[in-house]
Amino acid sequence: MKNLKNSVIHWFLSAGTVFLLTAIVSISVYGQANGVKLDQPGYYRLAIGEIEVIAVSDGTLPIDLLQVLTNTTPKEVNELLADNFQSNPVAVSVNAYLIKLQDKLILVDCGAAELYGPTLGNISTSLKRAGYTPEQIDAILITHIHADHTGGLVSEGKMVFPNADIYISKGEIDFWLDPQGASKRPDLKKSFADAQAKVGPYLKAGKVKAFDSNKELFPGIKPIPSPGHTPGHTFYALENHGEKILFWGDLMHVESVQFANPSVTIAFDVDSEKAAIARKKAYHEAANEGYWVASDHISFPGIGHVKAEKKNYVWVPINYSTYSSGQ
């Protein structure tokens, strides 16, 4: 049992104006209240039509929301957390998703690996528990090149997914893999270095597939540009037999706050204003069309529906089921 009381978590933020923020988290990162390490299964299956999708957990990270949420007040954040029986700091999930598409295994994002401390970095373990090894993965669809979505690509300088092609939007590559990037934006120096370290080996090996359209990448899987959080941020839609799920990446980060108030932004946004506009549009569409949503930072498995209520939105988590039509 490891108690990291009063641990200091260094957040290398990637926002437009941002910097290095130090968030002091005065809880034990294992077990939070009582120091008990809570080992969870780390995977969850559902079916979209005839396609199995498996949520895989990278872990959770305690985050001091009062330090990272923007365009809000501590009072609003604390009240919305209390409405959800939570208090600051909050354990925020980091999720990825495995799509079992006919003869291909396709991952959407791949967690943080070692970059954010000991409570994250569990994607390979979660995949193995679900019955798969990283070597079996054929493709990884990256929503954006932030370290908690691409960190898992590389461990100790080696490709964790040696047989996978990595799909990333051209806008995202142009921004984060620009050799001049760090000199243009010194505030994001650490994020540019992480991008090189984690995506670089796949680029060198010719395994990065950059795309700049919303044409299908695989049967039933389409990228949808959603710039704001980062310049090339991308959703992925999976459709099969009349069912649809949209993988949101970092459209939003804190469900207890940002559904009640979609205008609340986060310091990690490269363009907060655009991110808030994208969020409102996506909430509206998801509520209107009623499709499934999978979101990297919503409480694991991060799968559910969005419902419009009064002027705002409500997150409705998936109903647990052990058979495929139990929705």
Binding site for Zn ion (CB under 5 A): 148, 250
Q: Cβ 248 to Zn ion, closest distance in Å? A: 10
Q: Cβ 286 to Zn ion, closest distance in Å? A: 19
Furthest C-alpha separation in the chain: 52
For Zn ion, which is the closer residue by CB, 47 or 298? Answer: 298
For Zn ion, which is the closer residue by CB, 70 or 163? Answer: 70
Q: Cβ 7 to Zn ion, closest distance in Å? A: 20
The number of angstroms, rounded, from the C-alpha of 31 to the middle of its chain's C-alpha atoms is 22
For Zn ion, which is the closer residue by CB, 94 or 177? Answer: 94
Q: Cβ 297 to Zn ion, closest distance in Å? A: 6
Q: Cβ 323 to Zn ion, closest distance in Å? A: 32
Structure token pair of residue 49: 């039509």
Q: Cβ 256 to Zn ion, closest distance in Å? A: 17
For Zn ion, which is the closer residue by CB, 250 or 255? Answer: 250
For Zn ion, which is the closer residue by CB, 239 or 250? Answer: 250
For Zn ion, which is the closer residue by CB, 148 or 255? Answer: 148
For Zn ion, which is the closer residue by CB, 64 or 148? Answer: 148
Q: Cβ 320 to Zn ion, closest distance in Å? A: 25
Helix H, strand E, coil C: the string for the chain is CCCCCCEEEEEECCCCCCCEEEEEECCECCCECCCCCCCCCCEEEEEECCEEEEEEEEEEEEECHHHHEECCCHHHHHHHHHHCCCCCCEEEEEEEEEEEECCEEEEECCCCHHHHCCCCCCHHHHHHHHCCCHHHCCEEECCCCCHHHHHHHEECCEECCCCCEEEEEHHHHHHHCCCCHHHHCHHHHHHHHHHHHHHHHHHHCCCEEEECCCCCCECCEEEEECCCCCCCCEEEEEEECCEEEEECCCCCCCHHHHCCCCCCEECCCCCHHHHHHHHHHHHHHHHHHCCEEECCCCCCCCEEEEEEECCEEEEEECCCCCCCCCC
Q: Cβ 96 to Zn ion, closest distance in Å? A: 11
For Zn ion, which is the closer residue by CB, 25 or 275? Answer: 275
Residue in 225, 99, 116, 218 with CA at minimum distance from that of residue 172: 225
